[in-house]
Structure 1
Amino acid sequence: MATLAGGVAVITGAGSGIGEALARLAAKTGMQVVLADVATARIDAVAAQIVADGGTALAVTADVSDPASMDALAATTRDAFGDVRLLVNNAGVETLGFAWELSAEDWARTLGVNIQGVVNGVRAFAPAMIAAGEQAFIANTASVGALGIMPVQTPYIMSKHAVLAFSECLRLEMELKQAPISVSVVLPGPVHTRIFTDSLGAGDAVSQYHRQQMEGMLAANGISSAEAASRILPQVAAGDFWVSTDAEMTRAYAAGRAQALLDLQPPALAPELAASLQAE
């Protein structure tokens, strides 16, 4: 963590959940933190609390799905603090519904935030990070869902698989460039956040039931955002590629996915999941 102290951190989706917790922890570590989100009131409040606690924070309203907005975020950050040491492309949204019933707008918003938001973040910040020639870190938030499949969450699962693949390729590109930029993919397990509460969706009975079940699961079994951040940030600072909140769960998901691909297994619903969703 000492490698982060004194540097500048940019964290998207910092208005709540894991992003907020990472911003608070980065500030406690001694970083100057830029909080980015479309939820202006949320990041203003978080930034004010960080400053009140003796940290340095700047709230910037930004839409990660908009390239111009991310370019403006990079310019604002550079003008305020200079070079960036840590970029966390964390912004993400959940969308529930059968793939053919979701609106074009829901699809565009989900993929725009979850996939293009990560791409826009890297495109806006990586050139200057590389040019600085100093050790720096890029962390892209995916999910253990990037190692699995799930009906009714198709846009989210699809997007997280894409974030994982993008991060893997980005890591190789940094190696080719011989750039001192460490790339990590963050695969959180259950974390008690607002992601399902704030989720988009078609509003059908199955999706509503799934949302309720997932909200209940996170409330009962999810760790806090603060605990998640305390596990994530040291792994990023250590230069780990695979970053998880639950190493055992991540390995189990990876093993299951690897075996399914090795055996060329067709997708199949777990019996208990099929029974619960089909009942709706």
Structure 2
Amino acid sequence: MTEEEKIFSGGVAVITGAGAGIGMGIARRCGHIGMTVIVTDIDKANADKVAADIISTGGRAEAIKVDVSKPEALDALAQDVFDRHGAVRLLVNNAGIETIGNVWEIPTARWETTLNVNIHGVVHGVRAFVPHMLRVGQEAWVANLASVGSFGQMPTQTAYMMSKHAIQSFSECLYLEMQVAKVPINVCSIIPGMLKTSIFDAQAGKGEPQSAVAHRATMAHMMANYGMDLDEGCRLFVQGMAARKFWISSQPEMTEQMLAGRIAFFEKQATPALSDQTRALLGL
């Protein structure tokens, strides 16, 4: 039996945005190690498919449609899951979207959706689930999806970058709150590097300005050709959670490189500047 199985097998995992991408990969891994997986997504058809895949390989799963941009939907989800299952061992606040475009070109609706999903979805996921976890009193895990982008700068990806900076800060403070409160809830910051997902697919850019099309296509190409295998990355994420780590990276060397650049930027109090790599990406 693996360490992940010892820690998580028999428990309930709730994963937001699990109909595709990293959420799907973590859901499949949790099913593989013996958890009951609550697959949530705004697209019920995708959630159904992931749950069916887990069940077809001998796992336990169910699909629920949830829009994480609505705090009341997360309240209802938490109440329902605890009423029916009694406890949640693992909450993964994964749901997120990539938005591309200059700040002044992104329509209001797309800005609001990005911030409500990427930031408020995580905040209210914690707010909705943690009181139930505390009431049950068992050891539990809260994992929030940050990114190597939490430590970087990228023009035209500002909306996504700022949201991931916010989630990293939120998770750090949340970790300390759990320490101060002396409660058995582990907080983890999941830091994907470049994994093979559909986050940059063209259809995901609905509501973005026309100027975003080329950048999205370039990023999709890079991810498809150079990204890490999704299942391998998600295996590392679950392994890190079982080890009760706070920092959990799919590609630690990429995280270290981003952190080193960020530290140097702060130490020098440098003016933001485009790297050669960024210039090439933007076609400059």
User: TM range, normalised to the smaller chain?
Assistant: over 0.9
Is structure 2 residue 251 aligned with structure 1 residue 246?
A: yes
Partner in structure 2 of residue 167 of structure 1? 171
**Conservation of the 8 A alpha-carbon contact between 2:15 and 2:27:** yes
Partner in structure 1 of residue 65 of structure 2? 61
**Pairwise CA distance, 1:278:** 5.5
Q: Give unpaired runs (5+ residues) of structure 2.
A: none
**Pairwise CA distance, 1:196:** 0.8
Partner deviation per Cα, 1:155-181 (whole Å, 9 max, x = no partner): 000000000000000000000110111
Partner in structure 1 of residue 210 of structure 2? 204
Partner in structure 2 of residue 27 of structure 1? 31
**Conservation of the 8 A alpha-carbon contact between 2:105 and 2:209:** no
**Pairwise CA distance, 1:270:** 1.2
**Pairwise CA distance, 1:252:** 1.0
Give the 5 Å matches for 1:122-161: 122-161=126-165
State how far apart, in whole Å, the 2-side matches of 1:202 and 1:63 are: 20
**Conservation of the 8 A alpha-carbon contact between 2:67 and 2:73:** yes
1:236 to 241, 247, 258: 241
Partner in structure 2 of residue 270 of structure 1? 275
2:49 to 45, 55, 69: 45
1:196–1:62 Cα change, 3 Å: same
**Conservation of the 8 A alpha-carbon contact between 2:146 and 2:189:** yes
**What TM-score do the two structures reach when normalised by structure 2?**
0.95
State how far apart, in whole Å, the 1-side matches of 2:88 and 2:82 are: 8
Q: Which amino acid aligns with 2:80?
A: T
**Conservation of the 8 A alpha-carbon contact between 2:82 and 2:132:** no
Is structure 2 residue 74 aligned with structure 1 residue 73?
A: no
Q: Which amino acid aligns with 2:7?
A: T
Partner in structure 1 of residue 222 of structure 2? 217
Q: Which amino acid aligns with 1:254?
A: L
Partner deviation per Cα, 1:116-160 (whole Å, 9 max, x = no partner): 000011011011112222111110001100010100001000000
State how far apart, in whole Å, the 1-side matches of 2:7 and 2:278 are: 44
Is structure 2 residue 8 aligned with structure 1 residue 4?
A: yes
State how far apart, in whole Å, the 2-side matches of 1:28 and 1:50 are: 8
**Pairwise CA distance, 1:272:** 4.3
Identity %: 46
**Conservation of the 8 A alpha-carbon contact between 2:66 and 2:74:** yes
Q: Which amino acid aligns with 2:272?
A: P
**Pairwise CA distance, 1:223:** 1.2
State how far apart, in whole Å, the 1-side matches of 2:283 and 2:52 are: 47
**Pairwise CA distance, 1:201:** 5.0
State how far apart, in whole Å, the 2-side matches of 1:218 and 1:132 are: 41
Partner deviation per Cα, 1:47-100 (whole Å, 9 max, x = no partner): 122122221111110011101110111122113312000000000000000001
**What TM-score do the two structures reach when normalised by structure 1?**
0.96
Partner in structure 2 of residue 115 of structure 1? 119
Q: Which moved more, 1:137-146 or 1:262-271?
A: 262-271
Partner in structure 1 of residue 261 of structure 2? 256
Q: Give unpaired runs (5+ residues) of structure 1.
A: none
State how far apart, in whole Å, the 2-side matches of 1:274 and 1:91 are: 29
State how far apart, in whole Å, the 2-side matches of 1:56 and 1:149 are: 40
For these two proteins, the number of residue pairs brought into alignment is 278
